[in-house]
């Protein structure tokens, strides 16, 4: 995939090849229709190289970047398109979408406002403007009433005793308030049949898991015995039936079959509630043999945009959605396996002097900041060339093999495992084998055609082994079914 974002200055018509540029654009459009976004981006880039003066080439490439979640690049291209033509409405649409994806609601609102003025009869533009305006006002209101002293703690307001279990409820029940293996097996069967866990048990799991995570450090040290197998899974993204397939292939979690799930459990896939309660249940059942790292999608902004917030409100309550936000704030940010391998969702840092001790001391009980080590653990990505670059996502940074080597040498580690990016084979080994990506959601969003993968290793040598798998069928509920309506322009 092309990562070029610095374009040539506008040049005279005598030096452009308009015919060649149009040819590349037409080819790119065909690959875009086939959802081969990387190839489309390369071809749009060639069109821009042949004729850098055409706003539509940048807007189209911006749309392709949106599809692969390179929001920083998408924002750059959309801005370039409106620089070339200040009346090009589609460019403003694209820029609004990129700003929304980055949680920059005010900037998005300005662009929607421009579009509604340019197209006063466009009902879709008016709808998006109104929706975005609601979000901006809601954020402003919450900020106005919120202080350190009066911020509500949702967990303290939950009254489990007041929740009645109806006689007709036939689903799994906690035993003396505790998760058991029997409960977990019944829960997974319930979810496979599209049933719903009773709200009293769902709230109890959330309250217990919050209490547990609050006692954990930001960096969790994990010991793996020489002959023991340990499994690392990447993004699940609400694909419950693919999660069940992982357990079919690799066995259920247990004290002899430990797992680490490396963030982005929810959003996009429309069975996120089922995924997160399954994972939280196993965490409570096997607290010392089942681990979970926070991903960039375990945050309020991502959940409001990409479906989890809407799904929880649909299946339970708005109060529960707020409680999930509290719980996610306490998820550990990274895990260190046998003092040799660091596992985090995103990647490494914009500084060379970050140590494991610094990660341990991060105050993580908050929404992800826009920069610094916590942000980078959740958002950063590797790049093939040495050095660092601004993130293609617009958050975090991109880091090269030299950055990885310096970090590993400083902290006496062998390699890092991270997730966060779709890979065709479900995994990718980069940086001379020192930076491994694992992604466990096959055919991501029912469109990408990628395999999923998980990593297994043994304590004695910590050598990673890869298992890949295809997507399995799921009930006819489309991805993003609960996503914010504003995202319709990105889908």
CA distance 20 to 42: 14
Q: How many angstroms separate the CA atoms of 289 and 105, rounded?
A: 40
pLDDT in the model for residue 253: 98
Q: What is the pLDDT of residue 5?
A: 44
- Average pLDDT of the chain is 93
Q: What is the pLDDT of residues 167-186, one digit of tens each?
A: 999 999 999 999 999 999 99
Summarize the confidence of residues 191-206 as an average pLDDT.
98
Sign of CA dihedral 209, 212, 215, 219: negative
Checking if the pLDDT of 203 tops 90, the result is yes
Here the tokens at position 73 are 């690049």
Domain boundaries, the chain: 13-145, 160-490
**434 touches 404 (CB < 8 A):** yes
| Radius of gyration of the chain, Cα coordinates, nearest whole angstrom | 23
The rounded distance, in Å, linking the Cα atoms of 207 and 65 is 39
Question: Is residue 91 within 8 Å of 82, Cβ to Cβ?
Answer: yes
Class of domain 160-490: alpha beta
Instruction: Spell out the residues 6+ positions from residue 64 whose beta carbon is closer than 8 angstroms to its own.
Output: 28, 32, 37, 40, 41, 44
The span from the CA of 228 to the CA of 181, in Å, is: 21
Spatial contact of 135 and 104, defined as CB atoms under 8 Å apart: no
297 flagged as catalytic = yes
Q: Is the pLDDT of residue 409 over 90?
A: yes
What is the rounded end-to-end Cα distance, in angstroms, of the chain?
20
Nearest by Cα to 304 from 103, 34, 73:
103
Low-confidence winner among 13-17, 273-277, 410-414, 425-429 (lowest mean pLDDT): 13-17
User: For the domain bounded by 13-145, which CATH number is listed?
Assistant: 1.25.40.10
- Nearest CA to 52 out of 111, 6, 120, 97 is that of 6
pLDDT at position 128: 86
CB neighbours of residue 245 within 10 Å = 18
Average pLDDT on 256-279 reads: 98
Site of tokens 């799994």: 172
Q: Alpha helix locations (H) across 364-441?
A: 373-379, 401-411
Among 11-20, 209-218, 230-239, 401-410, the range scoring the smallest mean pLDDT is 11-20
pLDDT level of residue 144 (50, 70, 90 thresholds): confident
CA 302, 303, 308, 314 dihedral sign is negative
- 151 pLDDT exceeds 70? no
pLDDT at 149 over 80: no
Fill in the DSSP letter of residue 14: G
pLDDT reading at 12 higher than 60: no
Q: How confident is the model at residue 143 (pLDDT cuts 50, 70, 90)?
A: confident
Reading the block at residue 253, the tokens are 């979690």
* Residue pLDDT, tens place only, 65-96: 998 889 999 999 999 999 999 999 999 999 99
* pLDDT surpassing 60 at residue 196: yes
| Whole-number Å distance between alpha carbons of 335 and 219 | 5
344 sits in the region (left: phi over 0; alpha: psi -120 to 50; else beta) called beta
Q: Could you say which of 76, 289, 297, 345 is catalytic?
A: 297
Please, are residues 247 and 290 in contact by the beta-carbon 8 Å criterion?
no
Query: 344 forms bridges with which residues in the sheet?
Result: 334
Q: Percent of the chain, pLDDT > 90? A: 85
Residue 52 has pLDDT above 60, yes or no: yes
**Residue 398 vs residues 325, 346, 389, 394, 401: alpha-carbon distances, Å:** 27, 10, 5, 10, 10
Q: State the pTM of this model.
A: 0.91
């Amino acid at each position: 995939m092309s990562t070029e974002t610095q374009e040539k200055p506008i040049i005279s018509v005598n030096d452009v090849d308009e015919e060649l540029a149009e040819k590349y654009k037409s080819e790119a459009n065909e690959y875009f229709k086939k959802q081969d976004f990387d190839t489309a981006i390369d071809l749009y880039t060639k069109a821009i190289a042949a004729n850098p003066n055409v706003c539509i080439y940048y807007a189209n490439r911006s749309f392709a970047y949106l599809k692969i979640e390179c929001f920083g690049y998408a924002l750059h291209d959309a801005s370039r398109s409106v620089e070339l033509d200040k009346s090009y409405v589609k460019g403003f649409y694209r820029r609004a979408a990129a700003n929304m994806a980055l949680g920059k609601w005010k900037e998005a609102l300005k662009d929607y406002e421009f579009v509604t003025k340019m197209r006063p009869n466009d009902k879709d533009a008016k709808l998006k403007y109104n929706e975005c305006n609601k979000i901006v006002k809601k954020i402003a209101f919450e900020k106005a009433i919120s202080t350190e002293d009066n911020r509500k703690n949702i967990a303290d307001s939950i009254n489990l005793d007041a929740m009645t279990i109806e006689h007709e409820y036939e689903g799994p029940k906690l035993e003396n308030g505790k998760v058991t293996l029997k409960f977990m097996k019944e829960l997974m069967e319930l979810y496979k049949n599209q049933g719903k866990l009773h709200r009293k048990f769902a709230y109890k799991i959330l309250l217990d898991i919050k209490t547990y995570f609050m006692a954990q450090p930001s960096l969790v040290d994990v010991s793996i015995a020489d002959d023991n197998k340990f499994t690392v899974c990447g993004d699940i993204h609400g694909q419950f039936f693919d999660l069940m397939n992982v357990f079919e292939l690799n066995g259920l979690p247990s004290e002899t079959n430990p797992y680490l799930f490396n963030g982005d459990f929810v959003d996009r896939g429309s069975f996120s509630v089922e995924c997160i309660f399954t994972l939280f249940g196993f965490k409570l059942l096997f607290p010392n043999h089942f681990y979970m790292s926070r991903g960039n999608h375990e945050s309020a902004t991502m959940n409001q945009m990409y479906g989890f917030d809407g799904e929880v409100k649909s299946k339970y309550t708005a109060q529960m959605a707020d409680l999930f936000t509290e719980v996610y704030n306490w998820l550990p940010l990274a895990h260190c396996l046998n003092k040799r391998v660091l596992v985090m969702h995103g990647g490494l840092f914009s500084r060379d002097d970050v140590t494991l001790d610094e990660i341990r001391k991060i105050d993580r009980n908050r929404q992800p900041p826009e920069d610094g080590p916590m942000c980078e653990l959740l958002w950063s990505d590797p790049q093939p060339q040495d050095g660092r670059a601004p993130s293609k996502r617009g958050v975090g940074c991109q880091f090269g093999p030299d950055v990885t080597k310096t970090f590993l040498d400083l902290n006496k580690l062998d390699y890092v495992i991270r997730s966060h990016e779709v890979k065709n084979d479900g995994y990718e080994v980069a940086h001379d084998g020192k930076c491994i990506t694992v992604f466990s959601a096959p055919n991501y969003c029912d469109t990408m055609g990628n395999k999923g993968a998980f990593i297994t290793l043994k304590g004695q040598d910590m050598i990673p082994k890869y298992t890949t798998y295809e997507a399995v069928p799921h009930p006819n509920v489309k991805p993003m079914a609960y996503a914010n309506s504003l995202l319709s322009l990105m889908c």
